[in-house]
Amino acid sequence: MFQKILVPLDGSPTSDHGLRVALELANDQKEKARLILLHVVDDFSMLVETSAVANYHEMLEGLRRYGHELLIQAKNTAQALGMEAEVVSREVTQQSIADVILEEARSTACDLIVMGTHGRRGVRRLTMGSDAEQVVRSSPVPVMLVRHEDAKSASFLSKLQTEAGAYAKSSIPIQ
């Protein structure tokens, strides 16, 4: 049913849970769906907060490295489970993360977006906004929002990588 699934990742337990659901969904397809793993480096907030700091470029490079490592770990996990995955890293300054997700969905012709959501309500939602809500409102394709029940729990991706790594060492070479 789904051939390409876009999965935005930020390294939080919530996005890790979204990845888990996307992996399960992709694996359940008659022909396994291909995952498009997306990480967005949003340097606008960093620009505002560190405008007087001389090491802005070092901090930005750290964000880029973090995103790259996150994407490679997720890709390796998908491949260890026998799925195809493509990684995409984008940087924005004056654009919302939701807009980047929507652009990526259009440009890669995804059939579905699977993303974690914090499920904020009330004043917290009003003050912090919701990229997930913006994606749902404007998406050209179906969106599956996955709420992580326990944000304090250990990162699922870390657990999954450990399990997949142990499995991969015994039977599947990871590139």
> Which of 5, 27, 13 has the alpha carbon at shortest distance from 114?
5
Q: How many CA atoms lie within 13 A of 35 on its CB side?
A: 33
Tell me the domains of the chain and their CATH numbers. Answer: 4-162 (3.40.50.620)
Predicted confidence at residue 122, as pLDDT, reads 47
Assign 3-class secondary structure to 88-157: EEEEECCCCHHHHHHHHHHHCCCCEEEEEECCCCHHHHHHHCCHHHHHHHHCCCCEEEEECCCCCCCCHH
pLDDT along the chain (175 residues), means of 10: 93 92 90 93 62 69 92 96 94 89 96 83 48 90 84 50 48 38
The confidence score (pLDDT) of residue 164 equals 52
Triad 132, 121, 50: Cα angle to 5°: 65
pLDDT score at 171: 38
